[in-house]
Structures are given as structure tokens and as C-alpha cells.
């Protein structure tokens, strides 16, 4: 089974993030879910995003890197929205990464000093009308990332919800979330040790 390091979004380590991790665990995967906010959670993205800015995005990425210390190199890095920053950086810079799962966000690989590493498969999941994903450049970055690469996939779901895969979130979309989990489990089965 695969081992996954999953980073939360701007709302913090919510029960919905834990529920998503539990879905993967029920399929037999090992999932680590560090708390980058030291126990703080928020009910709206603007407040959570403001807190992330106060801490500093570099600090959050560094916390993500520390969370990876002591874990095997051959893990899958995953992140929801803001959590994509440490997940993507680690997938690009940490030797031995087995893959990456990016939910609701994607940044150009050049942000982390280079191109996407060969042999590291990735799935990017987002809604086709999510203003955070579409209007802030993440969709364009995702399309560029997956272009002409057989082991990189972009999955778009109909709708505008940002945290569509998080059970319990007001923006949860059960049908899209179920399909997302199915695709993620297929991905993890393909990178299984």
C-alpha cells in the first residue's frame, strides 16, 4: 500500500480533511496529516487565508518540509488548496517521491526552482468554475503541468465549489467527491510499493 503525506487547506486541519484521509486509510494506505496551523481552524477561507499570510507562506512550506522529515522518501505528497504549496514543493525537490495529488490548486513548477521531475506522476483535481482555481491561475498552471505527459492528469469537475472533496464543508459536492476519491485510489494503487 502507498504512504501519503496530506496537507490541509487554509481552514486548517478540519474534520473533513481527516475524513478524506480516513477514506484512503480504509483502502489500506498509510496517511499522515500534519497540522500546519498548530491547532487553529477557521470557518471561512478569507479568515484562514489571512492567518496563513500572517504566518507566512514560506513558514507554512517549511513546516510541511519538517513534517516530511523522518518519513520514507518514497511517499505520495498531497495537498488541498493552500496545502498544495508544501506538497508540490516536496514532490519537486525531495528525492524519491512516488507521486503527487493536488486538490484545488497548482502552481507553476518554476516557483519551486525548476521543472516537474520525470517519473513523478501527478493528479490535479479542481472544479471547472471554482474562482480560486480558475481565476487565480491554478487551472492554467495545471494545464501546463499535465501537457504532453502520460503520467500527469488534470481532472475537472462541474461546479464552482473550492473544497468540493471535503465532507462536512458547505462546499462539499458528494458526487464529485466520490469520483475524486475513486480516481485517487486508482492513482495510489498504481504507485503502490
DSSP for 33-83, please give it: ---TTTT-B-SSHHHHHHHHHHH-HHHHHHHHHHHHTTS-SS-EEEEEGGG
**C-alpha 180, offset from chain centre:** 12
- Tens-place pLDDT, residues 62-89: 999 999 999 999 999 999 999 999 999 9
Distance CA 162, CA 2 (A): 26
Residue ranges of the domains in the chain? 3-191
Ranges in the chain, pLDDT < 50: none
Q: What is the pTM of this model?
A: 0.97
Give the DSSP letter of residue 162.
Answer: S
CATH 3.40.50.1820 fits 3-191, yes or no: yes
- Which three three-digit cell numbers place residue 159? 461546479
**pLDDT confidence of residue 193:** 55
Q: What proportions of the chain, in percent to the nearest 5, are helix, strand and coil? A: 45, 15, 40
pLDDT of residue 15: 96
Predicted pLDDT of residue 47: 96
Instruction: Name the residue among 66, 61, 41 with its Cα closest to residue 51.
Output: 41
Residue 177 CA neighbour count, 13 Å, CB half: 22
Amino acid at each position: 500500500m502507498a504512504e501519503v503525506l496530506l496537507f490541509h487547506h487554509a481552514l486548517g486541519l478540519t474534520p473533513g480533511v481527516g475524513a478524506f484521509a480516513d477514506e484512503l486509510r480504509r483502502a489500506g494506505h498509510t496517511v499522515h496529516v500534519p497540522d500546519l496551523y498548530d491547532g487553529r481552524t477557521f470557518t471561512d477561507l478569507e479568515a484562514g487565508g489571512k492567518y496563513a499570510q500572517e504566518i507566512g507562506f514560506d513558514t507554512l512550506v517549511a513546516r510541511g518540509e519538517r513534517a516530511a522529515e523522518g518519513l520514507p522518501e518514497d511517499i505520495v505528497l498531497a495537498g488541498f488548496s493552500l496545502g498544495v504549496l508544501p506538497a508540490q514543493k516536496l514532490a519537486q525537490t525531495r528525492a524519491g517521491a512516488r507521486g503527487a495529488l493536488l486538490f484545488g490548486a497548482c502552481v507553476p513548477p518554476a516557483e519551486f526552482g525548476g521543472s516537474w521531475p520525470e517519473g513523478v506522476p501527478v493528479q490535479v483535481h479542481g472544479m471547472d468554475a471554482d474562482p480560486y482555481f480558475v481565476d487565480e491561475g491554478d487551472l492554467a498552471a495545471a494545464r501546463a503541468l499535465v501537457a504532453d505527459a502520460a503520467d500527469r492528469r488534470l481532472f475537472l469537475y462541474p461546479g464552482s465549489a473550492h473544497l468540493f472533496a471535503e465532507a462536512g464543508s458547505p462546499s462539499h459536492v458528494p458526487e464529485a467527491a466520490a469520483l475524486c476519491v475513486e480516481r485517487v485510489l486508482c492513482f495510489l494503487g498504481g504507485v503502490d510499493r
